[in-house]
Structure 1
Amino acid sequence: MRNRFPTLSLTSYGVGWSANRRIAIVALIVTVLLTIAAAVAWLSGRGNAHRDPTAAGPAATHSPSSSEAPAPKPEADSGSVPKPPQISEPVAYAKAAAQMLWSYDTRDTSRDQQLAGMRAWMTKEPTYADWASVSGQVPDPLLWSRMADQDQHATARVTEGHYPGAFKQALAEDPSAITEAYIYVVTVNGAQQIAWKKGGGGAEERAVTLAVQCRPGHDCALAAIAPSVTQ
């Protein structure tokens, strides 16, 4: 039997989103003329199933952050979730954020700590923060408890990050449009290694498109998990 862990496995985009939010994020990516005030809604992670921990339980450590910055250490109240790095470059920050999202450790981190740690990465501007799209990555309390019973944990490896083609084209056509919200769309690819008790484990490829806010003179912050509408 296989157990799905939709929250920390990101491959399905736009499932269950409201029409307004879908329109807002698509308009942002295609034209960069909107401020994504509606942001993007949560994504479901179907298609990134984790194997049932009772059948082989997962394994992990956290190697957050990108190669452009040292790996940040977790804060005391967020378990093994790393605190956000001080990065002002969108792609570098998105890579660090993806690595954070794909890494977890139920052996020393509660579900509440996981959520608290993830929230610290979010932009503090409520107009652009879509917390639901990020918190929706975390399993419900019952599933998290089952995972913890099997010491399930995961590490992530980021292979690359880039601006989707439509986003780059829109920026080229109207460079000043980004200055409304300074929201950048970045697609990140990588892999996740999962492990659990009795030597169980497995690896899966991962991909996620993130909306990252990087205002001039400030560190970047995560705004939302965006739909994968471009490559």
Structure 2
Amino acid sequence: MRRRALLGTAALLVLVTLAGLAAYLTRDSRKATNPPPTKSSSSPSSSALTSEPSPASVSPHSLPVPPTTHDPVAYGKAAAAALWSYDTRAYSQPELLAALHRWLTSEKKYADPDSVDALVPSPVLWKEMAGNGQFATARVDEGHFPGSFTQALQADPGAITAAYVYAVTVSGKQSIAWNGSPAGGAESRVITLAVQCRPSHPCALAGVLPAVAP
């Protein structure tokens, strides 16, 4: 809770207009209890406000590795793809959690690992999914700064310099397949992420917001 409060304090001036921020700062840690589909979200820096990275995808067969970039939108899209992808046949649930934690900022007071953990199936659910050989692939189509975030940043550009945490909304699709159903099915996904991009360091994930900001 202390980490979430610090993250909220540092980013409040630019994130206050985002729907669901209050819930993000005060909610209890939660674990995924519903079947397979997972969700995600992320953020960028002021010079990247006009950037539009190309679509991204992640293979479920290997653990996700964070990219090295100073573009918040590009990082947010990569993080969303990582959060929407998994393969119960290739690695364990703890291994996936450990890999996703490597995407988080090393500044502990701004990192919210619980918000990432909440998007990963619980150990019990993972075991059931593994029994069916379930895996998911992700396709990311678009990423952008939410309009409310952009307006707040333009109104007070200096507010971001305390923590350099940005909001990024990403949309795409998650395709899920399992033994006996290689085609599976696909569902649309949208997520808003908090991404830290300090000028002197590559971007890193701060956390996942509970509500999508358009």
TM-score range, shorter chain: 0.7 to 0.9
Contact in 1 for aligned 2:15/2:167 (Cα 8 Å)? yes
What is residue 78 of structure 2 aligned with on the other side? 96
CA distance in 2, matches of 1:172, 1:198: 52
- Structure 2-normalised TM-score? 0.76
Q: CA deviation at 1:82?
A: 1.8
In the TM superposition, what whole-angstrom CA distance separates every residue of 1:74-117 from its partner, at most 9, and x where no partner exists? 9xxxx722211101100000000000000000001101101011
Work out which of the residue numbers 158, 166, 172 in structure 2 matches 1:190: 172
Contact in 1 for aligned 2:190/2:212 (Cα 8 Å)? no
Letter in 1 for 2:195: V
**1:85 pairs with 2:71:** no
User: What secondary structure is seen at the aligned counterpart in 2 of 1:93?
Assistant: helix
216 and 20 in structure 1: CA distance in 2 versus 1, 3 angstrom threshold = closer
Q: CA deviation at 1:30?
A: 3.0
In the TM superposition, what whole-angstrom CA distance separates every residue of 1:32-84 from its partner, at most 9, and x where no partner exists? 9xxx9x957557779x8548xxxxxxxxxxxxxx966998999xxxx722211
- Map 1:63-142; keep pairs closer than 5 Å: 80-142=62-124
Runs of 4+ in 1 over 6 A off after TM superposition: 19-23, 43-46, 69-74
- Ranges in structure 1 where 5+ consecutive residues have no aligned partner: 1-18, 52-65
**1:208 pairs with 2:191:** yes
Letter in 2 for 1:219: P
Q: Which has the higher contact order (CA 8 A, sep 6+)?
A: 2
Letter in 2 for 1:154: A
What is residue 29 of structure 1 aligned with on the other side? 15
**1:226 pairs with 2:209:** yes
CA distance in 2, matches of 1:117, 1:26: 28
99 and 113 in structure 1: CA distance in 2 versus 1, 3 angstrom threshold = same
Q: CA deviation at 1:227?
A: 3.4
CA distance in 2, matches of 1:138, 1:178: 30
What is residue 46 of structure 2 aligned with on the other side? none
Contact in 2 for aligned 1:73/1:83 (Cα 8 Å)? no
Letter in 1 for 2:187: E
- Structure 1-normalised TM-score? 0.71
Contact in 1 for aligned 2:173/2:189 (Cα 8 Å)? yes
Contact in 2 for aligned 1:29/1:185 (Cα 8 Å)? yes
RMSD: 3.4
